[in-house]
Amino acid sequence: MTNNESDSSREWASQAYALLKQKQELKKQEDQLKAEELKAKELKAEELKAEQLKVEVNKQNFSNLQDDTEVKLGDFDDDFTWSAMVLAAQGKKVNEISVDEIDWLSKLRRGLEETRKGFVSELLDKLGDDPLTPESLDDLETLLIRADVGIDSTDKVINALRKKLNEEVVGGEEGIKFLKDELRAIIEKPIKNSGTNILVPQKGKLNVWLIVGVNGVGKTTTLGKLAYLSSKSNYKTLIAAADTFRAAAVEQLQVWGDRSEVDVISNRSKNADPAAVVFDAINAANKRKSDLLLVDTAGRLQNKNNLMDELSKIKKIIDKKVPDAIIESLLVLDASQGQNGLKQAKSFAKSANLSGAIITKLDGTSRGGVSLAVSAEVNLPIRFIGAGEGIKDLRPFNSFEFVEALLADR
Ligand SMILES: Nc1nc2c(ncn2[C@@H]2O[C@H](COP(=O)(O)OP(=O)(O)O)[C@@H](O)[C@H]2O)c(=O)[nH]1
Ligand SMILES: [Mg+2]
């Protein structure tokens, strides 16, 4: 190797060394950048998780109001024991159960007592502890129809039981359990189809819930209870008084608004246009970044076409003003109207593009079974049920609790 050659190779080596150093430096910077990026991502994920947790908590609050200032625990009675058992059967831990939940379940059980008396007690007498017979199936069929469960769902249950009976001996106890499962499956079907287990406002968007139904079924009352449930669960809530037909409707709604500390957007001038009220309410909701706008609507049946026109006009306004709003059209049905409620559901479903049902007045009626008919024959998910006139007498629908309350004596 000549001197020249060794110089140039030293040169090369030093250049290579510098290049390598540079590369290493670059790699170090790159790694650092990557680490920072990762950290940022982790932070973002944590933020997201916290946000989700908040949403979850709100969701839970929605179905599990923790505010028990008004509610007092009753005696440690049969209702209490039953309610606690139903909650436990769903995997709830003792420390997750609130007084409100127990109170509500007791109320629901008492509310469905009339339905139960005319249905379950007789059923239990008939079925007893003996194995089921084809005759007892006939009796059961009659009972289900009488409780307004509806022909479709009754057929489904009876056929399933008959099939089971052909394959094996079915004891009374086992028959009841099978019956409960079948009934629950019927109510759960539309809920599963909807892809949403419990209806809650979606965050980051305006949710508009149209409360529809014929006169007197409990729309305004239900809306009042929903406003309370929603604002207590930290959703920014607003009410639109779009029933402009009844003079006293706005006052009635204002009372509920005051009770739940939710503002009511209304237009008290005579012959105000419901769609115009909704227009104003959407402006207000946008300005305030509301999560949920509850719209009370009129329900005069004598001019049903007008009613449907009105509803579609309201929907058009919402679509135009807030295209990404999430609209729910919830049909309110009065359980005490039995088969009539089913008829209403069918006619509204045809023209009002419903997304769910709310069953009210489950307290003190003997026709709670209509909930099953609505699920099976109109394919509507039941979202809430009301059992009383108080502000807390409305809860997200839970098929397990409903069926247990319906068949509570066993
Ligand atoms: N017992 C009972 N009464 C209810 C229930 N929901 C509403 N009501 C009553 O039913 C009547 C009509 O209710 P309202 O909300 O004005 O019906 P709307 O015409 O559909 O708005 C009122 O007297 C309410 O107090 C409920 O769950 N149980
Ligand atoms: Mg009303």
Query: Which residues have C-beta within 8 Å of that of residue 141, sequence separation ≥ 6?
Result: 154, 158
Whole-number pLDDT of residue 68: 44
Residue 7 pLDDT exceeds 80: no
| pLDDT tens sequence across 168-177 | 888 878 888 8
Instruction: Indicate which ligand has the atom closest to the C-alpha of 245.
Output: 2
| pLDDT tens sequence across 332-357 | 999 999 889 999 999 898 878 899 99
Nearest CA to ligand 1 atom 17: 218
Q: How confident is the model at residue 246 (pLDDT cuts 50, 70, 90)?
A: confident
Query: Ligand 1 test: best mutation among 389, 394, 397, most atoms within 8 Å of CB?
Result: 389
Stretch 254-258: mean pLDDT: 96
For the ranges 79-88, 119-128, 131-140, the lowest mean pLDDT is seen at: 119-128
Measure the CA–CA gap between 98 and 113, rounded to whole angstroms: 23
Whole-number pLDDT of residue 310: 86
Instruction: Indicate which ligand has the atom closest to the C-alpha of 218.
Output: 1
One-letter amino acid of 74: G
Q: From the CA of 249, how far away is ligand 2's center (Å)?
A: 6
Measure the CA–CA gap between 15 and 17, rounded to whole angstroms: 5
Whole-number pLDDT of residue 66: 45
Residue 70 pLDDT exceeds 80: no
Query: Ligand 1 test: best mutation among 210, 219, 221, 307, most atoms within 8 Å of CB?
Result: 221
| pLDDT tens sequence across 258-284 | 999 999 999 988 778 899 999 999 999
Q: From the CA of 337, how far away is ligand 1's center (Å)?
A: 13
Whole-number pLDDT of residue 135: 85
Stretch 280-290: mean pLDDT: 97
Nearest CA to ligand 1 atom 13: 218
Nearest atom of ligand 1 to the alpha carbon of 332? 20
Residue 77 pLDDT exceeds 90: no
Q: How confident is the model at residue 226 (pLDDT cuts 50, 70, 90)?
A: very high
Residue 64 pLDDT exceeds 70: no
Greater pLDDT, 106 or 305: 106
Nearest CA to ligand 1 atom 22: 218
Q: How confident is the model at residue 69 (pLDDT cuts 50, 70, 90)?
A: very low
Greatest Cα pair distance in the chain: 115
Q: From the CA of 82, how far away is ligand 2's center (Å)?
A: 34
Q: From the CA of 334, how far away is ligand 1's center (Å)?
A: 8
Whole-number pLDDT of residue 251: 92
Residue 59 pLDDT exceeds 90: no
Whole-number pLDDT of residue 206: 97
Stretch 315-342: mean pLDDT: 93
Whole-number pLDDT of residue 302: 52
Whole-number pLDDT of residue 253: 94
Instruction: Indicate which ligand has the atom closest to the C-alpha of 216.
Output: 1
Q: From the CA of 48, how far away is ligand 2's center (Å)?
A: 40
Q: From the CA of 191, how far away is ligand 1's center (Å)?
A: 25
Q: From the CA of 360, how far away is ligand 1's center (Å)?
A: 8
| pLDDT tens sequence across 100-119 | 788 888 888 888 887 777 66
Whole-number pLDDT of residue 171: 83
Residue 257 pLDDT exceeds 90: yes
Measure the CA–CA gap between 339 and 84, rounded to whole angstroms: 33
Greater pLDDT, 225 or 69: 225
Taking CB atoms and a 6 Å cutoff, what residues make up the pocket around ligand 1?
Answer: 213, 215-221, 299, 360-361, 363, 386-389, 393
Which two three-digit tokens encode residue 329?
């059209």
Instruction: Indicate which ligand has the atom closest to the C-alpha of 335.
Output: 1
Residue 294 β-bridge partners: 209, 239
Pairing of strands 207-212, 394-396: unpaired
Nearest atom of ligand 1 to the alpha carbon of 362? 27
For residues 341 and 334, the answer to whether their CB atoms sit within 8 Å is: yes
From residue 14, how far is each of 1, 3, 20, 22 by CA, in Å?
18, 16, 10, 12
Residue 408 pLDDT exceeds 50: yes
Nearest atom of ligand 1 to the alpha carbon of 216? 19
Whole-number pLDDT of residue 209: 97
Q: How confident is the model at residue 389 (pLDDT cuts 50, 70, 90)?
A: very high
Q: Label residue 89 exposed, middle or buried (CB < 10 Å: 0-12, 13-18, 19+).
A: exposed
Q: From the CA of 247, how far away is ligand 2's center (Å)?
A: 10
Residue 61 pLDDT exceeds 70: no
Nearest atom of ligand 1 to the alpha carbon of 217? 20
Mean of the per-residue pLDDT values for the chain? 84
Q: How confident is the model at residue 394 (pLDDT cuts 50, 70, 90)?
A: very high
Q: From the CA of 167, how far away is ligand 1's center (Å)?
A: 47
Whole-number pLDDT of residue 269: 82
For residues 405 and 371, the answer to whether their CB atoms sit within 8 Å is: no
Stretch 120-137: mean pLDDT: 74
Greater pLDDT, 65 or 261: 261
Instruction: Indicate which ligand has the atom closest to the C-alpha of 330.
Output: 1
Q: How confident is the model at residue 3 (pLDDT cuts 50, 70, 90)?
A: low
Measure the CA–CA gap between 300 and 312, rounded to whole angstroms: 15
Nearest atom of ligand 1 to the alpha carbon of 243? 21
